[in-house]
Amino acid sequence: MMIRHANVNTVHDLVAQLPQPRVLVPTMGALHEGHLALLRRARKLAGNQGSVVVSIFVNPIQFDRAADLLAYPRTLERDLELCEAAGVDFAFLPEKEDFYRADHSVLVTENSLSQRLCGATRPGHFDGVLTVVLKLFALLQPKIAVFGEKDYQQLALVRRMVRDLNLPVTVESLPTVRARDGLALSSRNARLSEADRSDAVRLHAALQTAKNFMLQGEKNVAEIVEKTRNLLLKNAPANFTIDYLDLLDSENLQPIENVEKPAVLAMACYYGEVRLIDNVVLRPSPFK
Ligand code: AMP
């Protein structure tokens, strides 16, 4: 039987009774196949002896726009059924008033990997993400935590926080789970109109074309980015805008001129108010 628990003050003692390895999957709910893949991996990592913990919490301090927070899809009862079916042992469902004291004043800030991509266009976003992840680690004390590669920069930042703060957690990651047509699954996809959802196949297609372009020998970052931008904007609907499109060193997320070692091509775009992200890692052949 899956335990549902909301109280931040009592969760520590309760969770201590769950056997290790305790494997945590942090989410904001509105679960889809991408989340379920993380839960399945968590179940495998925990094995028969260990336990799987999921957190479902729409973290207010990582939203830079109030309207986005308000519109974020919430499907709690269905999420809990999916968690139970996926073999989750413990679902942590804190209330925001309980999770953040009215006068809370400590945030985790990272000063390097967070400077570009989402960090540049969503001020404060990653302070919010790292703070919630650190609090979840402190409250739930997992041995392992599982994250998706769809949120590439987030994953890099969590790994950096674990390294720099010596947190006793192993971070595991999973490749992006996609719809049949290639669109990265996201809770926000539910907010797309039918027309925008069909159009959104272009996002992954453009990134794949850029990857092929690189594999065929193009190394110049400006060229690859320009080509991808043109593909994204070609015949795009009027409500489509690119928030950012950048090709960076995949390790340190710093700018590069040429793709000589693994690099990440990452983008965020808007269909109206709905913001989507995606990325692809470009790995040049060492023999070329
Ligand atoms: P979220 O609920 O959007 O905060 O996501 C919770 C976790 O699920 C994060 O580690 C995400 O990277 C991961 N995730 C979200 N979408 C996908 C996807 N399509 N494939 C794999 N992981 C995902």
Residue in 80, 88, 9, 94 with CA at minimum distance from that of residue 43: 88
Using alpha carbons only, give the angle 255, 59, 30 rounded to the nearest 5 degrees.
95
Residue in 167, 160, 111, 179 with CA at minimum distance from that of residue 135: 167
Spatial separation of the C-alpha atoms in residues 227 and 233, rounded to whole Å: 10
- In sequence order, the 6+-apart residues with CB closer than 8 A to the CB of 185 are 32, 33, 34, 150, 176, 177, 178, 179
| The ligand 1 atom nearest the CA atom of 35 | 8
Residue 162, classed as helix, strand or coil, is helix
Indicate the average pLDDT of the chain: 97
- In sequence order, the 6+-apart residues with CB closer than 8 A to the CB of 81 are none
Q: Is the pTM of this model over 0.95?
A: yes
The pLDDT score that the predictor gives to residue 240 is 98
The pLDDT score that the predictor gives to residue 141 is 97
Strands 90-92 and 144-148: unpaired
Residue in 190, 147, 175 with CA at minimum distance from that of residue 55: 147
How is residue 191 annotated by DSSP? Answer: G
Q: Where are the alpha helices (DSSP H) in the chain?
A: 8-16, 33-46, 66-71, 76-85, 96-99, 117-121, 125-140, 152-164, 194-199, 201-215, 221-233
pLDDT digits (tens, 9 = 90+) for 68-110: 999 999 999 999 999 999 999 999 999 999 999 999 999 999 9
Distance 149 CA to ligand 1 centre (A): 8
Residue in 38, 47, 36 with CA at minimum distance from that of residue 81: 36
Q: Exactly one of 32, 35, 125, 204 is catalytic; which is it?
A: 35
Distance 229 CA to ligand 1 centre (A): 25
Q: Does residue 61 register a pLDDT over 70?
A: yes
pLDDT digits (tens, 9 = 90+) for 241-288: 999 999 999 999 999 999 999 999 999 999 999 999 999 999 998 744
Pocket test for ligand 1, best of 27, 137, 152, 183 (most atoms within 8 A of CB): 27
Residue 150, classed as helix, strand or coil, is coil
The pLDDT score that the predictor gives to residue 149 is 98
Measuring from atom 5 of ligand 1, which residue has the nearest CA? Answer: 27
Distance 273 CA to ligand 1 centre (A): 20
CB of 183 closer than 8 Å to CB of 201:
yes
- In sequence order, the 6+-apart residues with CB closer than 8 A to the CB of 144 are 21, 22, 23, 24, 42, 45, 46, 169, 170, 171, 172
Pocket test for ligand 1, best of 35, 129, 187 (most atoms within 8 A of CB): 35
Measuring from atom 22 of ligand 1, which residue has the nearest CA? Answer: 148
The pLDDT score that the predictor gives to residue 285 is 83
* Backbone φ, ψ for residue 207 (5° rounding): -65, -40
Pocket test for ligand 1, best of 151, 157, 207, 274 (most atoms within 8 A of CB): 151
Using alpha carbons only, give the angle 63, 111, 58 rounded to the nearest 5 degrees.
20
Measuring from atom 11 of ligand 1, which residue has the nearest CA? Answer: 148
pLDDT digits (tens, 9 = 90+) for 173-224: 999 999 999 999 999 999 999 999 999 999 999 999 999 999 999 999 999 9
Measuring from atom 12 of ligand 1, which residue has the nearest CA? Answer: 148
Residue length of the chain: 288
The pLDDT score that the predictor gives to residue 184 is 98
**Residues near ligand 1 (Cβ within 6 A):** 27-28, 34-35, 37-38, 147-148, 150-151, 174, 176-177, 184-187
| The ligand 1 atom nearest the CA atom of 175 | 21
| The ligand 1 atom nearest the CA atom of 146 | 10
Residue 273, classed as helix, strand or coil, is coil
> At 116, which amino acid appears?
R
Given pLDDT bands bounded at 50, 70 and 90, which one contains residue 144? very high
Measuring from atom 10 of ligand 1, which residue has the nearest CA? Answer: 147
CB of 282 closer than 8 Å to CB of 209:
no
Tell me if residue 35 is catalytic. yes
The pLDDT score that the predictor gives to residue 288 is 47
Measuring from atom 17 of ligand 1, which residue has the nearest CA? Answer: 34
